[in-house]
């Protein structure tokens, strides 16, 4: 059981307060799934959808796809591919960084260098 469905419903309902095009029917149509399926997702009657559908839902609702995938208990295929390519290195890296504050994690991320201009 995840919080994916209720979270999707909360976000969609919040958007719908300002914009009626965020009904279950219209969101489902834009995402490319059946309204009944979206309704079941929101009520956690079915497991979270595929990665592709989750990403489209996230984009439609203006949410971060990686965050929504995590909420659905998934890791994106591109991240899995990165880890599989160098499993020991990235497994060690992730374990080492698991308790590190965000600010410190960002220090190990490659920064776009600013120069003189």
Partner 1 sequence: MIILDDDRLEFHFPEVHKESRCTIEFQRTLRIPDDGRDYPLPPGLGAFPLRHLDDYAARLPDNWRRRGGVIAPMHQAEALWINFTSRYPFAVKLATGKICAITGDTWVDHLNRDPQDYVVLPEQPWLDGYCVEEGIVRQFVAMPLGEGYTVEEQLTGAAVHGGLQFVAFPMKAERYEALMAGRPEFEPGVMYAPDCAEEAPMGLAPGGRMKQEVYDDPYGLDAWDQRHASRCFVSLVNSAQWVTITGELPPTEPPSAQFYAEYGLPWFEYYGGDSQVVAGSETLGRLKSVSEHAEATGGAPLPGNDPVSVDHVIALGKSRGRRVRESVIGAGSDQG
Our finding on whether 81 is near partner 1 (CB under 8 A) is no
Among 5, 22, 42, 71, binds partner 1 (CB under 8 A): 22
Our finding on whether 75 is near partner 1 (CB under 8 A) is no
Q: Give phi and psi for 10, each to the nearest 5.
A: -60, -45
Contact 69, 79 (CB under 8 A): no
Q: Own/partner pairs for 24-27, CB < 8 Å, 24+ apart?
A: 27/57, 27/60, 27/61
Our finding on whether 18 is near partner 1 (CB under 8 A) is yes
Report the nearest approach of partner 1 to the CB of residue 79 (Å): 12
Calculated CA dihedral for residues 96, 97, 99, 103, nearest 10 degrees: 150
Residues 98-117 that bind partner 1 (CB under 8 A): 101-103, 106, 109-117
Instruction: Write out the residues near partner 1 by the rule CB under 8 A.
Output: 10-11, 14-15, 18-19, 21-22, 30-34, 37, 46-47, 49-50, 52-53, 56, 59-62, 101-103, 106, 109-117
């Amino acid at each position: 059981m995840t919080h994916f469905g209720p979270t999707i419903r909360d976000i969609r309902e919040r958007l719908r307060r300002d914009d009626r095009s965020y009904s279950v029917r219209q969101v489902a149509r834009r995402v490319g799934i059946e309204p009944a399926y979206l309704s079941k997702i929101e009520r956690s009657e079915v497991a979270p959808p595929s990665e592709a559908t989750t990403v489209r839902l996230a984009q439609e609702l203006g949410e971060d796809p990686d965050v929504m995938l995590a909420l659905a208990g998934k890791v994106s295929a591109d991240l899995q591919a990165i880890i599989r390519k160098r499993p020991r290195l990235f497994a060690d890296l992730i374990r080492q960084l698991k308790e590190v504050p965000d600010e410190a994690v960002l220090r190990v991320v490659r920064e776009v260098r600013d120069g003189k201009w």
